[in-house]
Structure 1
Amino acid sequence: MARAAAAHTPGSVVRLAFSRSRGGAVLCAVMVSVHQVCEASTPVIVGLALDDAVAQGSVSRTWMWLALLAAVYAVLSLCGNGAGPVGVRAATRAEHDVRQAVVARVLDRHGSQLGRQRSTGERLSIASSDASQVGRAVDALAVGTSGAAALLVASTALFLISPLLGLVAVGSVVLVVFVAPFLARPLQTRSAAQQEAAAGAAEVAVDLVSGLRVLGGLGAGRPAAQRYREVSQVSRHARVRAGATESVFEGITTTIGGFLLIAVASVGALLTLDGDITPGQLVAGVGLAQFLVGPVQRLAATGALVASVRASAGRIAELLDTPVAVEDGDRGDDRDPARLPATVEVRDLRGAHLDGLDLTVGPGEVVGVVVDDLGARTELLDALARRRAPAAGSLVVGGRPATDLPLETLDRHLVVPPHEGSLFTETLTEMLGGTGGRALEAAQAQEVGGRLAQDGVLHGGRNLSGGQRQRLSLARALAADPPLLVLDDPTSALDPVTESAVADGLRELRSGARSTLLVTGSPTLLSTADWVVLVQGGRAVLTGTHTECSTDPRYAAVVLS
Structure 2
Amino acid sequence: MPGEVYSIATSDAGSVAGFTHTLSTKLAAACGVLTAAISLLVISVPLGLLVILGTPPVLALMQVVSRPLERRAETDQWQGAKAGALAADLLSGLRILSGIGAGDAAAQRYRGASRTSLGATLRAQRYQAMYSAANVAIAGAFLAVIAYVGGRMAASGSISVGEFVAVVGLAQFLRGPLIDIIYFGAGLARARASANRVAALLGTTEAVTPAGEPVSLNHSEFLTLRDVVLAGASPVDLDVKRGEIIGIVTENAAWADALVDALARRIEPSSGTIHLGDNAIHELHIDELRTHVLAAPHDAALFIGTVGDNIDALAPIGSRNDEAIAAAAADQVISALPLGLATRVTEQGNSLSGGQRQRIALARALASEAPVLVLHDPTTAVDSVTEARIARGIAEVRGAHATILLTSSPVLLDICDRVIEL
TM-score, normalized by length of structure 1?
0.66
Q: How far apart are the structure 1 equivalents of 2:141 and 2:214?
A: 68
Query: Any conservation in 1 of the 2:257–2:297 contact (CA below 8 Å)?
Result: no
Whether 2:12 is the aligned partner of 1:125: answer no
Matches of residues 352-363 of structure 1 in structure 2 within 5 Å? 354-363=233-242
Structure 1 residue corresponding to 2:406, chosen from 505, 509, 519 = 519
1:311-460 mapped onto 2 (5 Å cutoff): 311-333=193-215, 335=216, 340-351=219-230, 354-363=233-242, 365-374=243-252, 375-433=254-312, 435-450=320-335, 451=337, 453-460=341-348
Which of 9, 19, 27 in structure 2 is aligned with 1:145? 27
Name the amino acid aligned to 2:184: T
CA deviations on 1:206-246 (whole Å, 9 max, x unpaired) are 34323433444566555544443333222222222212222
- CA 459–410 in structure 1, closer or farther in 2 if over 3 Å, else same: closer
Asked if structure 2 preserves the Cα contact closer than 8 Å seen for 1:168 and 1:260, the reply is no
Deviates more, 1:404-413 or 1:430-439: 430-439
Residue number among 411, 418, 421 corresponding to 1:532 in the alignment: 418
SS at match of 2:289: helix
Give the CA deviation at 1:360.
1.8
Q: Supply the distance in 2 between the matched residues of 1:519 and 1:221 (Cα, whole angstroms).
A: 28
Deviation, structure 1 residue 463: 3.8
In structure 2, the partner of 1:100 is none
Provide the aligned length of Structure 1 versus Structure 2: 412
Residue 241 (str. 1) matches residue 123 (str. 2): yes
Pairwise CA distance, 1:425: 2.9
Q: Tell me which of 14, 17, 23 is aligned to 1:135.
A: 17
CA deviations on 1:178-219 (whole Å, 9 max, x unpaired) are: 211210111111112212222332233234323433444566
Distance 1:517 1:225 in 2: 37
- The DSSP-based 3-state class of the residue aligned with 2:329 is coil
Q: Which has the higher helix share?
A: 1
Matched residue, 2:178: 296
Name the CA shift for 1:220/1:279 in 2 (closer, same or farther; >3 Å): same
Higher Cα Rg, which structure? 1
Aligned with 1:421: secondary structure?
Answer: coil
Residue 315 of structure 2 corresponds to: none
Partners of 2:74 and 2:190 within 8 A in 1: yes
Distance 1:216 1:378 in 2: 23
**Separation of aligned partners in 2, 1:427 and 1:367:** 31
Stretch deviating more after TM superposition (211-220 or 409-418): 211-220
Moved more, 450-459 or 137-146: 450-459
- What do the CA deviations read for 1:42-90 (whole angstroms, capped 9, x no partner)? xxxxxxxxxxxxxxxxxxxxxxxxxxxxxxxxxxxxxxxxxxxxxxxxx
Q: Distance in 2 between matches of 1:227 and 1:354?
A: 30
Indicate the larger mover: 379-388 or 231-240: 379-388
2:350 corresponding residue in structure 1: 462
Q: Indicate if the aligned counterparts of 2:247 and 2:420 stay in contact, CA closer than 8 A.
A: yes
Q: Give 2:74's aligned amino acid.
A: A
Q: Which stretch of structure 1 is more off in the superposition, 319-328 or 298-307?
A: 319-328
- Judging changes above 3 Å, is the alpha-carbon distance between structure 1 residues 281 and 142 closer, same or farther for their aligned structure 2 residues? same
**1:319, distance to aligned residue in structure 2 (A):** 3.1
Matched to 2:360, the amino acid is L
By how many angstroms is 1:274 displaced? 6.4
The match for 1:251 is 133
Matches of 1:329 and 1:286, distance apart in 2: 70
Partner of 2:377: 489
Shift of the 292–331 alpha-carbon distance from structure 1 to 2, 3 Å rule, reads farther
The offset of 1:303, in angstroms, is 1.0
Residue in structure 2 matched with residue 498 of structure 1 by the alignment: 386
1:495 deviation in Å? 2.9
Kept in 1, the 8 Å contact 2:223–2:277? The answer is: yes
Q: Within the alignment, does 1:287 sit opposite 2:172 as a pair? A: no
Please state whether the residue corresponding to 2:303 is helix, strand or coil: coil
Q: Aligned partners of 1:151, 1:125: CA distance in 2, in Å?
A: 37
Return the offset for 1:155: 1.0
Identical pairs, percent: 38
Q: Partners in 2 of 1:145 and 1:204 — Cα distance?
A: 40
Counterpart residue identity of residue 307, structure 2 = L
- C-alpha spacing 1:353/1:258, structure 2 compared with 1 (3 Å): closer
Instruction: Determine the C-alpha separation between the residues in 1 that align with 2:261 and 2:272.
Output: 13
Cα distance change, pair 315–163 in 1 and its aligned pair in 2 (3 A): same
Give me the whole-angstrom Cα distance separating, in 2, the residues matched to 1:305 and 1:200.
23
Write the letter of the residue equivalent to 1:519.
L
Preserved contact between residue 362 and residue 515 of structure 1 (Cα < 8 Å): yes
Deviation track 1:470-503 (CA, whole Å, cap 9, x = no partner) reads: 1111011123332221112322333333233323
Shift of 1:469: 1.5
* Residue number in structure 1 paired with 2:361: 473
Contact map agreement 2:12 2:198 (CA 8 A) in 1: yes
TM-score by length of 2: 0.86
Instruction: State the distance in 1 between where 2:387 and 2:246 align.
Output: 15
**Secondary structure of 2:220 counterpart:** coil
Whichever residue aligns with residue 360 of structure 1, its letter is D
Instruction: Give the CA deviation at 1:454.
Output: 5.0
What runs of 5+ residues in structure 1 fail to find an aligned partner? 1-118, 537-561
Answer whether contact 1:348 1:394 (CA < 8 A) is retained: yes
Code of the aligned partner of 2:421 = V
Structural RMSD (CA): 2.9
In the alignment, structure 1 residue 200 sits paired with structure 2 residue 78: no
